[in-house]
Amino acid sequence: MILENSRALIVEGGAMRGIFASGVLDAFMASDFHPYDFAMGVSAGASNLVGYLSQQPKRSYKVITELATTSAFFNPKRFLKGGDLVDVNWLWQEANHRYPIDKMRLFNSIPFWATVTNVTNGHADYYRIDESNIKETLVATAALPIAVKTPPCFSGGCYTDGGVADSIPVKEAYRRGARDITVILSHPLSYHMNPTKHPWLMKKLLSRYPGVADAMLHRSENYNASLDFIRNPPAGTIIRVIAPPESFSVKRLSMKREILDEGYQMGVAAGEEHMVNLQGWHGLNEENCHFCI
């Protein structure tokens, strides 16, 4: 028996690496594959979920390849002059000007949460997306610390990128009742996050926000703990993982179209393979079964 609210979809962020998840979700849409009870996204993962839940194929792909690659969004010269390295407000506004969200479909879809990091304490907060907070939440979840000089504020708090405190909110999904969880990662399965090499520099750069600095210093252990949870889920819980292949070459700030297109096609192929595996059309071994089905 499938319990209500038991099937969750989680999409990791990772800036331009989000191109992989956009391909996975486009493959899902092409097959009208919508088996989830709720969804949770982080940073670029939340943006990808907007396209999926509003049933707008290629929207996320276009936002990444046509807008996030421009100097209006990513601008090192602006950063050196005291501005933001990435302009998430511009990206939100331009994306919705060129590719308006189908809000009717989005807000009549399954519940959708985005993860943000509270700059006061460095802890993760989870906002359910609705028409009153969609702009503020989606901007905040992608507001990379340091790259965005002034954290966006709304609903009584100020926030930075959700990936700082909870890059893969699989434990939160479990806490909310999910026992059948699908996770779309932005790194290959072999990935293990290393601690920051220069903690003193992190503390200096984030001296105005000690809670965020502390979260950044503990980010690797929290990230790897989420991976351990995925690999060793609690009894009665299934966690299915869709991850890029080891040959995935997209980096956080990759801007070359050919590299992004290759990463997108890897996502499409992974999404299609995931749906095939769910049908049990070919065998799986004990080692990777919970990752692949």
Read off the tokens for 148.
Answer: 């965005």
Asked if the model's pLDDT at residue 173 lies above 70, the reply is yes
pLDDT, tens digit (0-9, with 9 covering 90-100), for 204-255: 989 999 999 999 999 999 999 999 999 999 999 999 999 999 999 999 999 9
pLDDT, tens digit (0-9, with 9 covering 90-100), for 15-64: 999 999 999 999 999 999 999 999 999 999 999 999 999 999 999 999 99
Burial letters 19-55, b for 16+ CB under 10 A, else e = bbbbbbbbbbbeeebeebbbbbbbbbbbbbbbbbbbe
287 pLDDT tier (thresholds 50, 70, 90): very low
Catalytic residues: 43, 161
The whole-chain average pLDDT of the chain stands at 92
Domain 6-279 class, CATH top level: alpha beta
- Report, as an integer, the average pLDDT of 257-279: 95
Amino acid 5: pLDDT: 66
71 pLDDT tier (thresholds 50, 70, 90): very high
Question: What's the pTM?
Answer: 0.93
pLDDT, tens digit (0-9, with 9 covering 90-100), for 218-228: 999 999 999 99
Residue 148: Cβ within 10 Å count: 22
Contact 151, 209 (CB under 8 A): yes
